[in-house]
Amino acid sequence: MSRLWAAALAALALALGVLPFAANDYLVATGLSLLMWLALTQSWCVLSKMTGYVSLGHVVFYGMGAYLVVVTWQRWPLALAVPAAGIVAALFAALVGLPVLRVRGPYFVILTFGLAELVRYALVAYEAASGTASRILFGAPDLVVIYFAMYALAVGATVLLALVARSRFGHGLRSLRENEEAAETVGVPVVGYKLAAFVLSAAIPGMVGGVMALRSTYFVVDQVFDPMISVTVIAMALLGGGDGPRGPVLGTLFLFTLSQLLWAHAPLAYMLILGTVLVVFVLVAPNGIVGLFETARERRRLGALAREPV
């Protein structure tokens, strides 16, 4: 399976890599969107899949990154602003991480949502008070440049999750997901590890937000903190399933392709069908696409065992 997987992944990376040279602007923009979702979903998994702390506020890092790039527009070079966006998001995570991660389970889910909304409305109120309800941005780089920046971020996020998943750090995270108290008792530094996962998961979305801000000529703060972004990321990760980067790639591809097809052919029923797909998936494939593959493989293995002569 893993050689097949590696080949498939390489093919995908290649296809996405040559897309800007082979297709029109519309397709490139579509590819950009796919890469954005890949980067966001993989980075979410670094925290939420590995530790079990499900965050419903992932968009907050994206929004902060976008805001930083916009407010430094034309004053800072982009080569500085975009990495700074990632750093600001990571610093924010480092700052609030300790108290936030003391909260567990469903409390954590709603807390992260509340935190993202708090930052959102605080910035909206601030912008309204300072008189800049919206901004017009001129002179953004070419689509192809933006595309390859996002490509790098998507690859980076995938590599990050892969490295974390197979590292000692990742094993520690998995243990604390399974039983936090027991993990601490066998020596896993749970407080520090959770915080590290949180900070790591924040940097890339910050830069993703910064890069995507370059796409909009007309910027409104409210839009870059849209909670639907957080929800979509969760859906893509859970539909994919699994414990490493494989699941999110599958889940993102699946949901993204589905939404593009529906949008093109059945826009009215789009949301209805999407909702139905989510419901059916949770009932039929609770461990995601990866779970389906694993169940099929298990069945084949048991079937082969049953057929062996006794």
Is the CB of 179 or the CB of 257 nearer to another protein?
A: 179
- Total residues in contact with another protein, by rule CB under 8 A: 64
In the complex with another protein, which residue's Cβ is closer, 35 or 50? 50
135 binds another protein (CB under 8 A): no
Q: Tell which positions 80-109 bind another protein, by CB under 8 A.
A: 99-100, 102-107, 109
Smallest gap from residue 99 Cβ to another protein (A): 4
Of 184, 195, 216, 294, the one binding another protein (CB under 8 A) is 184
**Interface of this chain with another protein, residues 265 to 294, rule: CB under 8 A:** 268, 271-272, 274-279, 281-283, 286-287
Using CB under 8 A as the binding rule, whether residue 175 contacts another protein is answered as: yes
* Contact (CB, 8 A) for 81 and 68: yes
Q: Determine which residue in the list 11, 27, 80, 110 makes contact with another protein, applying CB under 8 A.
A: 110
Q: What is the largest CA-CA distance in the chain?
A: 81
Q: Which is nearer to another protein, 68 or 101 (CB)?
A: 101
Residues at the site binding another protein, with contacts judged by CB under 8 A: 52, 54, 56, 99-100, 102-107, 109-111, 113-115, 117-118, 121-122, 124-125, 128-129, 168, 171-172, 174-175, 177-179, 181-191, 231, 234-235, 237-239, 268, 271-272, 274-279, 281-283, 286-287
